[in-house]
Structure 1
C-alpha cells in the first residue's frame, strides 16, 4: 500500500511539472496559487443525540399533600442544527447556532397519602392515590457560542467552548392517570422560553482547507418547562400545571464546517487553436 501511494504521488508531481512546462510553452498563465481560505466565515451543520435529565416535578397540589416522586425522565431524542461562524484567529472562533430537538417522551410517577397520612383504608373522599404522567416534549435551542482551539496536530484540533442563548420547550399531550381513584386528567399544551447555556469539548478534523469534521460533547442547561392547565376527564376538578424542573442534557454531536472563500481545484486552461 505504501509503495503504491509513493508511485501515485510521484506520478502526480511529474504530471504537475509537465503540465506547468506545457502551459509555459503555450504562453498560458500559471494557475493561481491556493494556500487556504481567504474568508474567516464558515457555515456549519450538525446532528446528534440529546440525552436529557430532569431534576424534579411539582404542581400546586404538592403544597397541599405529601407527594413522593418515584421517577421522572425525558427519553433521548435526535437533534438537528445549523449555524454560521467567524474564525477570529487561529485560536478563537465564534458561531451562532439554531437547533431542533426531536419529539421525546416524558414519564413521571408519584404517590400521595390519604387524609390520615397513610396508604391504609382512607376516609371517604380523601383517598390516597398515584399519578402516572406522560407527555411529548419538543424544543428549539438558539445559542451564541465561543470556542478556544487548542492547537492542531496531524489535522486534528481539540477545542473547548461555551454558549448562551434560549431554549423554547413545549409540553404537549400531558396525561395524568390516577389508577387507585379511577381518574384521568388531560392538560393543554404549553411552551416556555428560558435562558439556556452550554459548555463544549470536542475534536475537529480538517479533511480539506474548506471542509472540517467536528465531533463534540455538550452539557446544556435548558431551564424549566410546564404543561398547560390540567383538567379531569369529567371536568370535576383541575390544577394549574405540572412543572418539569431544571432540564439539563448531555448531548453528543457530529458536525461539518464549510469555510467560505477557499480555493478549489485550479481552473482548466482555455483550449488553444492551432493553425
Structure 2
C-alpha cells in the first residue's frame, strides 16, 4: 500500500513540474515616455516703441525771387528729436515675422542761414546774413519684414527692412536779414510752411528679449530715409524752398505682445499595450 501511494505521489510531482515548464513566462513591457510635439511661435502681436532720433537734414535750397536762381542754404541743420510709435504684426514662424507700423517724429527745430548783398534797399544793400528759423514733424507709415537669427538663451537677434511713406509737416519759416557791418536788420519775413507725403524706407537691426511667454522686449536701431520735398512758400521776393531729404538714426526700445505666445505643447500618449497572455506549449 505504501509503495502504491509513493508511486502516485511521484507521478503527480513529475506532471506538475512538466506543466510548469510548459508555461512560458510573461515578458515585462518596457515603460515608454509620452511623445511631446513642440509648436512654433506663430500668431498676431501688438507692438509699441519709443526712441531718440538723431536727425540729419541733407540740405535745403530756395529760389531767389524773380531771377529763378535756386541757391543752397549756407547752413541748414535740424535738431535731434524723439519718436513714438506702434503697430500690429504677425509672427509667421520662429524665423520670420512682418508688421505694419505708424510712428510720430516729434518737433525738430530748423536753423539755417544765407549770405548775400547788393539789393536795392534794406540791410542787404550791403553784405548781409539771413537767419532762418522753422521746425518740422513727421508721421511715418511702413510695412516691415524681419528675419530672426535664432534664439540664444533669452535673446533673439534680428535684421529687418521696411518701405512706405512719411507725411512731413514744416512750420512757417521766419527770415531776418541783418547787415554784416552792424548797420541794421530788415523786418522779418514769414514764409508759409509746406507739408505732404513722401517716399520713405527703413533698415533695422536689434534683439528681442523674452520677458514672459507672450511678452518680448525689443532693443534696436533703425535708419529711416525720407525723400526730399517742399519746405516753404514764396514771400517778399524769396522762395519757395525745398529740403533735399532727411536721414533719421533712431535708438529704440519697445515691447511686443504675442497673443498665442503661451500656447501649451500638445502631448500624445502612446496607445495602451495589453499584457502578453501566457503561451502554453
Work out whether the TM-score is over 0.5.
Answer: yes
Deviation at residue 47 of structure 1 after TM alignment: 0.5
Deviation at 1:186, TM superposition (A): 0.3
* TM-score when normalising by structure 2: 0.71
Report the TM-score, using the length of structure 1 for normalisation.
0.72
Query: 1:103 maps to what in 2?
Result: 107
Q: Is the 8 A contact 1:150 1:157 kept in 2?
A: yes
Post-superposition Cα deviations, 1:191-248, rounded to whole Å, max 9, x if no partner, equal: 12101001001011011110000011011101124333242xxxxx243422121111
Cα-Cα RMSD: 2.9
| Rg (Cα) greater in structure | 2
Contact 1:57 1:244 in 2 (8 A): yes
Correspondence list, 1:86-125, <5 A: 86-114=90-118
User: In the alignment, is residue 60 of structure 1 matched against residue 63 of structure 2?
Assistant: yes
Shift of 1:81: 0.4
Partner of 1:140: 139
Displacement of 1:160: 0.7
Number of equivalences: 222
Name the counterpart of 1:243: 242
Alignment of 1:119-268 (within 5 A): 126-180=125-179, 181-231=185-235, 237-263=236-262
Unaligned runs of 5+ in 2: 1-35, 180-184, 265-281
Matching of residue 82 in structure 1 with residue 81 in structure 2? no
Maintained 8 Å contact 2:163/2:202:
yes
Does residue 1:43 correspond to 2:46, yes or no?
yes
| Aligned-partner SS, 1:192 | strand
Q: Distance in 2 between matches of 1:66 and 1:83?
A: 40
**Counterpart secondary structure, 2:224:** strand
